Amino acid sequence: MAAESPAGQSPSRGKRSDAQRNRQTVLAAAAEVFATSGVDAPIRRIASRAGVGMGTVYRHFPTRADLVTAVYHHQIEECAEAGPTLLADADSPLDALRQWIDLFVDFLVTKHGLADALQSDSDRFAALHTYFLDRLLPVCAQLLDAAVESGDIRPGTQPYELMRGIGNLCVGRDDDPRYDPRRLIALLLAGLRQPRTP
Amino acid sequence: MAAESPAGQSPSRGKRSDAQRNRQTVLAAAAEVFATSGVDAPIRRIASRAGVGMGTVYRHFPTRADLVTAVYHHQIEECAEAGPTLLADADSPLDALRQWIDLFVDFLVTKHGLADALQSDSDRFAALHTYFLDRLLPVCAQLLDAAVESGDIRPGTQPYELMRGIGNLCVGRDDDPRYDPRRLIALLLAGLRQPRTP
DNA sequence: GACTGAAGCGGAGCGCCGCTCCAGTTAATT
DNA sequence: AATTAACTGGAGCGGCGCTCCGCTTCAGTC
């Protein structure tokens, strides 16, 4: 509970009161702008929406990734914490995995361009990539291991590969009725299941 | 053989000789630059590499997508034509589908950032997306149908969704040894297989 | 309340990019 | 040789990321 700060990004603690206030203002503005224009929105716009200068935004969040992680921090955290809970409550490890992936996918597809940013090969987002991985990879690994252990799915799948695959499947135009990443992810999970050895 | 021109993009025919020459020069320069810097490379750079002005590039290829499609035209065509051939030669329709997807994936992953561009939600690449779909979707549909017909895979999968999924899985950093899209695509295909109804 | 130095602020400025536009050049035709 | 339609190139505009530094404001001190 004490150790916050995702990536060297120190929150308000010990800072001057105006700085704390500004940090919050920027965060709120960024959240609004991200929601309407995606996480690629110009920093200028976020700054002016917050009523501050660009310098202020950049001081609090040196890279765009820092800003994005700060905005979505809570939701990432929730997703991470849901892992063990689901594993404890679900009917089977495979079911837990399925439900957790659902959660993750919901998160990705409801944020414009977030999945795109995550997988982007521009290094503007490298820190974001890293943060997601640090936080969620262990959770995914735990679920995967449990499902292998129980014999629900075949062994050999790397958590990193699975998570990237899921992230990748969520990339792209957000509102194309012909494309629903969930269907493909279901297919992927079906492929993961242990072929019953009769 | 007569009808070329992917997207309203008329090739050299009937143009002035200097224009024809320039078109080829630009195409060659673009191919080189794409190979080294990806399909996102600045138009300025392509122009200067070709020794022409930007205006020239833009006149021959009004959008970036036009340039990209022109550069990869042959390979897309090959891929499209391979579909029926594979279907005729392979052991089973599913095998043909597998091999065709392999071909497609190889094409995508060997071109820096091509998959990224394909799925990008920026509309700079909309025409590229369209061209790929126009040319390859029918082929994929044919293979898919055949595999359904033969009972190899379950029905109900939309060709569009499958192709986008495959494209999406190829997105991202090109040289991460931890991530091989092929493994996930194999998983996807496994999920597609008809569950033997015992 | 006045003083002060450090922390914070903002936006002008630089470089890079996509894309347009038009005065000048060149190839084809007569 | 003259004509003209086609073609050319790059200056120029607007937008963006990011930095840098003179100015402002806060928070302790007396």
Q: Give dist(CA B132, CA B69) in Å, integer.
A: 9
pLDDT per position in chain A (198 positions), as tens?
333 344 334 566 688 999 999 999 999 999 999 999 999 999 999 999 999 999 999 999 999 999 999 999 999 999 999 999 999 999 999 999 999 999 999 999 999 889 999 988 788 899 999 999 999 999 999 999 999 999 999 999 999 999 999 999 999 877 789 999 999 999 999 999 967 554
Is A12 within a domain? Answer: no
CATH of the domain at A154: 1.10.357.10
CATH code of the domain covering residue B52 = 1.10.10.60
B121 touches chain A (CB under 8 A): yes
Within 7 Å: CB of B122 and strand D?
no
Q: What does the buried/exposed string (b/e) look like for B52-66 if buried means 16 or more CB atoms within 10 Å of the residue's CB?
A: beeebbeebbebbbb
Contact A188 B189 (CB under 8 A): no
- Whether residue A126 sits in one domain with residue A157: yes
Does any domain span residue A10?
Answer: no
Checking each nucleotide's C1' against the CA of B26, the nearest proves to be D8
Indicate whether B93 and B180 sit together in one domain. Answer: yes
Pair (B29, B56) in one structural domain: yes
Do the chains contact at B113 and A121, CB–CB below 8 Å? yes
Distance CA A75, CA A125 (A): 18
Contact: A190, B190; criterion CB under 8 Å: yes
Whether A23 CB is under 7 Å from strand D? no
Residue A197 lies in a domain: no
Vertex A86: Cα angle to A84 and A88 (nearest 5): 70
- Name the one residue in this structure whose structure tokens are 């919050």: A24
Extract the residue ranges of chain B whose pLDDT is less than 70.
1-13, 194, 196-198
Q: Are residues A29 and A106 in the same domain?
A: no
3-state secondary structure of B5: coil
| Residue in B134, B138, B187, B21 with CA at minimum distance from that of residue A158 | B187
Residue at A9 is within a domain? no
Minimal C-alpha gap between B4 and chain A (Å): 29
Q: Are residues B92 and B188 in the same domain?
A: yes
- A169 and A79, same domain (yes or no): yes
Which nucleotide does the CA of B60 lie closest to, via C1'? D7
DSSP-based three-state secondary structure for B157: coil
Residues A92 and A173 in one domain: yes
Encoded tokens for A151 = 């014999």
Sequence-ordered list of residues with C-beta below 8 angstroms from that of B165, at least 6 positions apart, any chain: A169, A181, A184, B188
The domain total for chain A is: 2
The pLDDT tens digits for B32-53 are 999 999 999 999 999 999 999 9
Residue B54: domain span: 17-62
Whether residues A79 and A43 fall in one domain:
no
Domain end among A6, A32, A62: A62
Do B29 and B77 belong to one domain? no
For B158, what's the count of Cα atoms within 13 Å in the CB-facing half-sphere?
Answer: 12
The verdict on residue A3 lying in a domain is no
Strand D nucleotides with an atom less than 7 Å from a protein beta carbon: 6-12, 15-21, 25-27
Domain boundary among B39, B62, B85: B62
Protein CA at A52 to nucleotide C1' at D26, angstroms: 17
Helix or strand or coil: residue B193?
Answer: strand
- Does some domain include residue A2? no
- Flag whether A4 is in a domain: no
Domain boundary among B7, B40, B62: B62
The Cα–Cα gap between B23 and B57 comes to 8
Q: Are residues B26 and B105 in the same domain?
A: no
| A contacts of B120 (beta carbons < 8 Å) | 116, 172
Residue nearest to nucleotide D19 (CA to C1'): A55
CB A82: neighbour CB atoms within 10 A? 16
Say yes or no: B74 and B97 in one domain.
Answer: yes
Residues A80, A168, single domain; the answer is: yes
- Residue A130 CA to residue A56 CA, distance in Å, equals 24
Helix (H) or strand (E) holding A46: helix A43-50
* Residues B177, A129: Cα–Cα separation, whole Å: 16
Q: Is residue B120 part of a domain?
A: yes
- Buried-exposed string B4-37: b where 16+ CB fall within 10 A, e elsewhere: eebeebeeeeeeeeeeeebbebbbebbeebbeee
DSSP character at residue A71? H
Chain A partners within 8 Å of B179 (Cβ): 160-161, 164
Burial of A64 (0-12, 13-18, 19+ CB in 10 A): buried
| CB contact A157 to B (< 8 Å) | yes
